[in-house]
Every structure is written in structure tokens, then in C-alpha cells.
């Protein structure tokens, strides 16, 4: 007998389906919302309410939506709908960023490298625009399917002339006020994609790099060591994981208040941080070495700051002189406490270089190839140059140790190749001219409320500390 007990129970009766069946019922519900113009109806109902406008940070129109888009748009929709239900007037204009490298990159991938080279610029622009238009449509359908309520028929698209005109007007204003200037600054550069990369376009992953210890010959034996009896040539010992940047060396940066000593080994005198003597001796395989000592038998010690101003012969460009300087970015975590400084190849180097008026040498071209200014290494790719430079230094007798290390290194988010740091001529907007920094800080501190509150420190220090 079939189960008839249920007939003996007093169960509630409902037409409500037993299962959600969302794949079928959601599209029906969304269609109903669209037919009934729910978005417009809610605006109409709340038209006298206090405005609450969520400004949509636009996604790139470069591919179908993924879980990141879903997360972003659904959270925004929570915020908007919950405000609408509390009576706020909540117009929500979605937007798309239709310019820039994410879209160019997709067009480049589709064409392939050979066809890409042959395609004229206007044609490339047309293809990019087509790509953006296509994915605005695809993403819009995706966002609608997520149930997001927005003014989908009137989005802002960055390629609309009206929008571009707004940009041009602001640029004109800044230009006429003298805020726009051209300068040379080091930036992350992908030699494969031939492009500068913003910090947000960098991914970090482990990379095996050379780790070399190189001594640079000082122009004279510092008096204090000479007085303690040191004779012959004196050197400063640096450590680097990027030998290809040595042709751009222009300074050596020390930690201002750390102790520096002179180590005598194999007939030469090398200066570096006292705290790292044991570690360096082990890496370099020094069996017999000693520190230059004073009459009291104690090592002669100088602070980094006190060595500032000494000059040396640059390691590759031996026709140039470099300078000993100091900076707060130097640590004694690894290396020698003497940082090879090439202002064209590093942010810290660039900043400390500005402070001490160190020239920005830039012997690497857009393809990542060393130029004539790299002396004997002209024509070599930066990766290929590493072993050649290491061998050359060994022949010169200035290589103290070379090994390999695995460390976290910046990579291009598009092609996943390691990037290089390289100074290029770029356009900048000054934060000082016309008081832009002051205005931005006022707005951050006075006009804007941040959630969570600590976020104000992060953006505040980005704006206040960034050099012009
Ligand atoms: Zn790349």
C-alpha cells in the first residue's frame, strides 16, 4: 500500500513551489522588473527623498564578467537598494572604462604579434573601440542577470565625446595654470609589452636572480683609516641582485647612523657595515681577514653619515665618478649596508638621488636593451647582460662574490614576465603648482568621511608624501 498516513495529517496548503528553481524563475522575475520599470518606479516614489548617489567606479570593458565583478556590483546594489528602501532618492548610473591597456591587450592577443605590428594605428583604435562596445553589452547583460538595478540604458562610457571633452577641459585648465610638466622618473616597465605599468598592474612572484658583491674603488684612502695604518687602494663593497643596472650606477648609499668598518682581506681594503662582516665573510669564503684597528686595538668605526661625500670610480662606466651618500631606506637586513644606487632604476634611488643631486643615467631602451651608454655591454638584453657583466667584473678583479637567490620580484600582470625599473620621460601634473596638494589634503581631512576611519591615513599619506 502506498503511504496514506499523510492524509491523516493537518498540513498547510500552498501554491508556493517546493523548490527555488532559480535558473528558470530568476530570469522571469528580472524580466518582470524590467517590464514594470522597477528602477524608474523606485526613483519616482523617492523623488522627494534625500539624494544618495553611489558613484560607480567603472570596470574595464575588456571581457565577460567574473566573480570579482559580481562581488563588486552586488555589494553596490545592496547599498543602493537598502537606501532606496529607507526612502532615499538613489539614481545609479553605471559606467565603463573603455580606454587603456586592458582593452589594447585583448586586441593585441587576438591579432597576434605579427599582425599587430602591421596594423596601422587608426585601425587599431577602431578595433579597440569595437572590442569595448561589444563587452559593454556583454557585461551589462551579466550585471542585469545578477539583479542589479541601475540606469542601464544611459551608462557613462569613457569614449563618448562628451566625456572626453570633459577630460580635455580639465587638462587645458591644468596646462594653462602651469601644472603640467615633463620629467624623467623611474617607473615599472615591461620590455615585452613595451609599456609603463602602474603599481596596481604589478604582481609579485618568486624569481631566481643573481646576488653579487662588488667592490668600487674609492679615489683616496679615507684619512681616518690611513691614520690607523691602512695603505693601498680602498674600496666600498656593494651588494646587488640586478647587475644589469650597474652601468647606471651613480652613487652608493649608506645607512646614516650605522657603523662602518674597513676589512682587510686578500691585500685589499673594503669598507662596509660592521654588523654584516661575519655574514659577508662567509658568503665570500674569506678565511683570513681583519678589521683596521686604532691604537687601542678596537676597530676604527665611522657612521654612514661621516663617509658621505667620498668619491669613487663607477664600476662599469669607469670614465664617471660616483659619490657616497646616505638615506633612511638603507637597512642592515641583508647585503653590505652599502646600496648600489642608480636613480634611473629604482624609486628609493631616485628619491635619494634628488636629495643629493645625483644624475639619472638611463642606458636601457624601450626593448630592455642596453644602449651605447652602457659601455662594453651595449646591445645586450638586460637578462642576457647579467652573466656577461658578472664575468667582466670577475676579470676586473672587483667581483667579491656571486651566487643566486630566490626572492619576490615584480612581474607584469598581462604577460607575467619580470618587469624592469627604468626612468622614462613622462608628463606629470604638479601637486605643488596651484596648491593641488593642499586642496586635496583639505578635502581628505575636512570634507570626506571614510569608512573604516583608518583608511583616511592611507590615502592621506599617499597624497602628502608623494614627491612632485
Ligand atoms: Zn608585459
What's the pLDDT tens digit per position in 416-452? 888 888 888 878 888 888 788 899 999 998 999 998 8
Which tens digits make up the pLDDT trace of 44-67?
A: 999 999 999 999 889 999 899 999
- Do you find a cis peptide bond into 135, omega within 30 degrees of 0? no
Is the confidence at residue 109, as pLDDT, over 60? yes
Q: What percent of the chain has pLDDT over 70?
A: 99
DSSP 46: T
**Ligand 1 centroid, distance to 62 Cα (angstroms):** 17
Res. 343 pLDDT band, cuts 50 70 90: confident
Q: How far is the centre of ligand 1, averaged over its atoms, from the C-alpha of 187 (Å)?
A: 14
Give the distance (Å) from ligand 1 centre to CA of residue 240: 24
Q: Give pLDDT, residue 468.
A: 59
Q: Which residues pair with 411 in a beta bridge?
A: 203, 418
Is 465's pLDDT higher than 80?
A: no
pLDDT score at 80: 97
Average pLDDT over residues 399-408: 86
- Per-residue pLDDT at 461 exceeds 60: yes
Position 330 scores a pLDDT of: 86
Q: How far is the CA of 282 from the centre of ligand 1 (A)?
A: 38
Mean pLDDT of 207-211: 86
323 CB contacts (<8 Å, ≥6 apart)?
250, 251, 252, 309, 310, 311, 312, 356, 358
- Judge whether residue 467 has pLDDT over 70: no
Instruction: Tell me the mean pLDDT in the region 7-20.
Output: 83
Whether pLDDT at 1 is above 60: no
- Give the model's pLDDT for residue 93: 95
Residues facing residue 387 across a β-bridge: none
Look at 74-83, 373-382, 389-398, 459-468 and tell me which has the smallest mean pLDDT.
459-468
User: What is the pTM assigned to this prediction?
Assistant: 0.63
Lowest mean pLDDT among 138-142, 171-175, 341-345: 341-345
CB 89 within 8 A of CB 50: yes
C-alpha 428/C-alpha 81 separation (Å) is: 40
Cα of 144 from ligand 1 centre, angstroms: 33
- Overall average pLDDT of the 9-36 stretch: 88
Distance 353 CA to ligand 1 centre (A): 28
pLDDT of 148 reads 96
Q: Which residue from 261, 285, 317 is spatially nearest to 402, judged by alpha carbons?
A: 285
How far, in Å, from the CA of 59 to the mean position of ligand 1? 21
Q: What is the mean pLDDT of the chain?
A: 89
- Domain architecture of the chain: domains with CATH: 25-159 (3.40.50.620), 201-417 (3.90.740.10)
- Give me ligand 1 centre to Cα 103, in Å: 14
Expressed in angstroms and rounded, the spacing between residue 421 Cα and the centre of ligand 1 is: 13
Q: Is the dihedral of CA 463, 464, 465, 468 positive or negative?
A: positive
User: For 118-129, what is each residue's pLDDT tens digit?
Assistant: 999 999 999 999
- Taking the C-alpha atoms of residue 212 and residue 425, their distance in angstroms, rounded to an integer, is 30
Q: Tell me how far the alpha carbon of residue 413 lies from the centroid of ligand 1, in angstroms.
A: 7
pLDDT at 348: 86
- Whole-number pLDDT of residue 443: 92
Q: How far is ligand 1, taken at its centre, from the CA of residue 249, in Å?
A: 25
Among 77-81, 238-242, 408-412, 432-436, the range scoring the smallest mean pLDDT is 432-436
- Give 198 Cα–ligand 1 centroid separation in angstroms: 12
Instruction: Supply the pLDDT for residue 287.
Output: 85
Q: What is the rounded average pLDDT of the residues 35-51?
A: 96
- Predicted local confidence at residue 2, as pLDDT: 63
Other CB atoms closer than 10 Å to residue 356's CB: what's the count?
18
Amino acid at each position: 500500500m502506498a503511504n496514506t498516513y499523510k492524509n491523516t495529517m493537518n498540513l498547510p496548503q500552498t501554491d508556493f513551489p517546493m523548490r527555488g528553481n532559480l535558473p528558470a524563475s530568476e530570469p522571469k522575475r528580472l524580466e518582470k522588473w524590467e517590464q514594470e520599470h522597477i528602477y524608474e518606479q523606485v526613483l519616482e516614489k523617492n523623488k522627494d527623498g534625500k539624494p544618495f548617489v553611489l558613484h560607480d567606479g567603472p570596470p574595464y570593458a575588456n571581457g565577460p564578467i567574473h566573480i570579482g565583478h559580481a562581488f563588486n556590483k552586488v555589494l553596490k546594489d545592496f547599498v543602493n537598494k537598502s537606501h532606496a528602501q529607507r526612502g532615499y532618492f538613489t539614481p545609479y548610473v553605471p559606467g565603463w572604462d573603455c580606454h587603456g591597456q586592458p582593452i589594447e591587450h585583448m586586441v593585441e592577443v587576438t591579432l597576434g604579434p605579427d599582425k599587430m605590428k602591421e596594423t596601422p594605428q587608426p585601425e587599431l583604435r577602431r578595433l579597440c573601440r569595437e572590442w569595448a562596445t561589444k563587452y559593454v553589452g556583454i557585461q551589462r547583460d551579466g550585471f542585469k542577470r545578477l539583479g542589479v538595478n541601475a540606469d542601464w540604458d544611459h551608462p557613462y562610457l569613457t569614449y563618448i565625446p562628451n566625456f572626453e571633452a570633459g577630460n580635455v577641459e580639465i587638462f587645458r585648465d591644468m596646462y594653462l595654470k602651469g601644472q603640467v610638466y615633463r620629467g624623467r622618473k623611474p617607473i615599472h616597465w615591461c620590455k615585452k609589452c613595451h609599456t609603463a605599468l602602474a603599481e596596481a598592474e604589478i604582481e609579485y612572484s618568486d624569481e631566481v636572480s643573481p646576488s653579487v658583491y662588488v667592490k668600487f674603488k674609492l679615489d683616496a684612502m679615507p684619512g681616518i683609516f690611513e691614520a690607523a695604518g691602512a695603505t693601498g687602494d680602498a674600496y666600498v663593497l656593494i651588494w646587488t641582485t640586478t647587475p644589469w643596472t650597474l652601468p647606471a650606477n651613480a652613487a652608493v648609499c649608506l645607512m646614516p647612523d650605522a657603523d662602518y668598518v674597513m676589512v682587510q682581506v686578500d691585500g685589499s681594503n673594503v669598507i662596509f657595515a660592521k654588523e654584516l662582516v661575519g655574514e659577508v665573510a662567509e658568503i665570500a669564503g674569506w678565511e683570513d681577514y681583519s678589521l683596521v684597528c686604532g691604537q687601542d686595538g678596537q676597530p676604527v668605526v665611522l657612521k654612514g653619515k661621516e663617509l658621505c661625500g667620498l668619491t669613487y670610480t663607477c664600476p662599469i662606466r669607469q670614465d664617471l665618478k660616483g659619490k657616497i651618500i646616505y638615506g633612511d631606506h638603507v637597512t642592515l637586513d641583508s647585503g653590505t649596508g652599502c646600496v648600489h644606487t642608480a636613480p634611473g632604476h629604482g624609486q628609493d634611488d631616485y628619491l635619494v638621488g634628488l636629495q643629493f643631486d645625483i644624475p639619472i643615467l638611463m642606458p636601457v631602451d624601450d626593448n630592455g636593451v642596453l644602449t651605447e651608454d652602457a659601455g662594453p655591454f651595449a646591445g645586450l638584453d638586460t637578462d642576457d647582460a647579467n652573466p656577461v657583466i658578472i664575468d667582466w667584473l670577475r676579470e676586473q678583479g672587483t667581483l667579491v662574490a656571486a651566487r643566486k637567490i630566490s626572492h619576490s620580484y615584480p612581474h607584469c600582470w598581462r604577460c607575467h614576465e619580470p618587469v624592469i625599473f627604468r626612468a622614462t620621460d613622462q608628463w606629470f601634473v604638479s601637486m605643488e603648482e596651484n596648491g593641488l596638494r593642499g586642496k586635496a589634503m583639505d578635502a581628505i581631512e575636512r570634507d570626506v568621511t571614510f569608512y573604516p576611519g583608518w583608511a583616511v591615513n592611507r590615502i592621506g599619506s599617499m597624497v602628502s608624501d608623494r614627491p612632485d
